[in-house]
Amino acid sequence: MNRIEERFARLKREGRKAFIVYIGAGDPNLDATRQLALAFDQSGVDVLELGVPFSDPLADGLVNQLAAQRGLESGTTPPKLLETIAAIRQQSQIPIVLYIYFNLIHRVGLEKFITDAAKAGVDGLLVLDLPPEESDNYEALMRHAGLSQIYLVTPTTPEDRMALIVKRAAGFIYYVSRIGVTGMQTNVAADLAEQITKIRAHTSLPIAVGFGISNPEQAKLVAGSADGAVVGSAVVNQIAQHGKSPELVAKVSAFVKLLADAVKSI
């Protein structure tokens, strides 16, 4: 088992839910990313998703698009990010997933990227624009490297295709709780429990729910139905607000701890 699988197995034994955080890598700079990762590990985060900056982040709303832009402006590249992850690994074993667009992997070369990611200490990849139907070689290389290939299921995914997707996945299933791009929302989807039940009929993998969760109450509500809650834009928005402050890590990790405590209170 890699770190993702180990963490979910431990949480299941303990009867607890997973709290997953997404941030844009290199926002405002890679040293801040390293410090935030270490602080999140102490604040109750179970899995850290790092968005690899990309010029055309089509699945992302404005908050995360701006984070990607700041990451590019800070000079963050995939090789520099892997160096940062290797530095995080010297102090922390928090499970790390790269949230990435396939173009960035293709440019490096599929086998080299996966090998380099595993060597740096990455545990899984969530490739936004790589459908399972085109992933045979990718999945074989991921298994060989000991990495989890994480796939998305959405409210509009037909059930027969959902069954295909979850059988190809590893680590956990990421359920996108609403139609559209990433971003903070005022309400949790009304059919969430029903959709999770439908997915569970096809897989024993943990199901984490994201897209739109913006406060502790929503995080707790989602974790009540799912195996984990993913918060991204709300945390990225905190980084945007405090990015130039010497209190950046303290303020953002305090916000994250409120969310983590809500998920862990179930």
Q: How many CB atoms lie under 10 A from the CB of residue 100?
A: 27
> 83 catalytic, yes or no?
no
Distance separating alpha carbons of residues 124 and 145, to the nearest angstrom:
10
Q: Are 238 and 229 in contact (CB under 8 A)?
A: no
Question: Active-site residue among 60, 111, 129, 194?
Answer: 60
E strand or H helix that includes residue 100: strand 96-100
Cα angle 2, 5, 252 (rounded to 5 degrees) comes to: 95
Question: Active-site residue among 5, 49, 123, 227?
Answer: 49
Inter-axis angle of helices 233-242 and 248-264, to 10 degrees? 160
> 60 catalytic, yes or no?
yes
Q: Are 74 and 30 in contact (CB under 8 A)?
A: yes
Active site residues: 49, 60
